[in-house]
Structure 1
């Protein structure tokens, strides 16, 4: 991302942090009805370590539940709280979200450091997280530069699925190890879908990959509560990290996303069609 576009991005994100997320397409199908609403868990936000903020269910491990983890990367110049509504939403659906505090998450290393901390805490005697993290199911997601960081993190064997949101150029799509859901915005003039997102989706032919383009979405739509992206992101992680069969049909088989007019383009590769 060039310096001019980075400055535009930062200014836009600061404005959104003040007034809320930009308007997004209104979904009318099950993606929105089921997955855009808050989940059943009360949410706590606190420091995980000096470099990460954690968004988690307030009560961890209820009835023996082990929580999958999600690693989050911010856009250039942004902080986790700019995306606070989305991260709280994911936590309300049972995920422990480790958000890297850095405004430069493109390497993926800052995000993966969150996984290292959670995995260590899962085995540390006396830790709040001891025995409560499902370390075999870790997702990576992020926006813009953080979306590129998610792709970079997705090459790590600890990461089982990846959701790059309007991703920057970082990371290699051919190195992804698990199912991937690439997200673009129809009116994104910073990360233009046809030039910068769809080609990367097509490169990821070694894994089940889906491309979803949200109608009317700009580069700033994911800020705040995730806008129209929120439900689809939640459904993807519920299926791949929790094994929630209710979410399978949103992407595979009959593909609810494919029939949802709130999405201007949906593509699935050969491996995704076989799921």
Structure 2
């Protein structure tokens, strides 16, 4: 009789619905937020969730490549905003100093404290990232030396910015066939200079220098996952970057991936 009851209990337990596993996220695809863009001040364009309600939103600072403007990168910036970020893009064709990018952060911090502002109480001032392409990638490194910035993603970065000054984790991105910012000469050495912080280098297979424009092609998912983990604490994004295996692994998509010792401990 006892054995019969055991069989019945086990059968019932097996029939109960199991907790749903967290669905894998394709970070290349748009996020859940509807997005709007607007002027922040006289020198920045913001891409942000249309509804800023709920939890405060982390910030991403953006720097354009030489001679380019935020509109040239709008698909990528809208994509990032669709994951809940407030993206402040510097309206300048020369963002390599990082100062223009940091000005956007300071404006948002001020707006967060100003009653009546659409951003009042809606900005997560403790979680601000910086990214950019080409000259703007160098600008992201320069901005990353400021205490306001907690993590950086330089995309095919120009020569500006001092990597040893970074105080937060960094993801360097390069294109396998980039002849303008050649990875072996201009990106990988900067990755090795980031030994004080968790650093990852990802080289996108088949990518050229222009891959970083528009929607950023295959770079887009890695950028999104990196910021979702470091700025939003999303554990699904952590697995995408640091899991084994991860979406940032050497193979058909990435021709080279490097992680320093601190990144391996994440």
The two structures share one fold, judged by TM-score above 0.5: yes
Q: Does 1:271 align with 2:262?
A: yes
Aligned pairs for 1:250-269 within 5 A:
250-254=240-244, 255-269=246-260
Q: CA deviation at 1:260?
A: 4.5
Q: CA deviation at 1:257?
A: 1.1
Q: Does 1:193 align with 2:220?
A: no
- Report if aligned partners of 1:69, 1:138 keep a CA contact under 8 Å in 2: yes
Residues of 1 paired with 2:28 and 2:88: CA distance? 20
Aligned pairs for 1:239-254 within 5 A:
239-254=229-244
Pick 1 or 2: higher relative contact order, CA cutoff 8 A, min separation 6. 1
Question: CA deviation digits over 1:67-103, x for unaligned, max 9?
Answer: 0000000000000010000000000110000000000
Secondary structure, in 3 states, of the residue corresponding to 2:249? helix
Residues of 2 paired with 1:127 and 1:41: CA distance? 20
TM-score (norm 1): 0.86
TM-score (norm 2): 0.89
- Report if aligned partners of 2:62, 2:101 keep a CA contact under 8 Å in 1: yes
Secondary structure, in 3 states, of the residue corresponding to 2:227? helix
**Unaligned 5+ residue runs, structure 2?**
1-22
Residues of 2 paired with 1:31 and 1:80: CA distance? 30
Q: Quote the RMSD (CA, aligned, Å).
A: 1.3
Residues of 1 paired with 2:153 and 2:221: CA distance? 13
Alignment length (residue pairs): 243
Pick aligned residue for 1:41 from 25, 33, 41 = 33
Higher helix residue share: 1
Q: Does 1:107 align with 2:114?
A: no
Question: CA deviation digits over 1:12-54, x for unaligned, max 9?
Answer: xxxxxxxxxxxxxxxxxx9983x01111111111100000000
Residues of 1 paired with 2:43 and 2:195: CA distance? 33
**Unaligned 5+ residue runs, structure 1?**
1-29
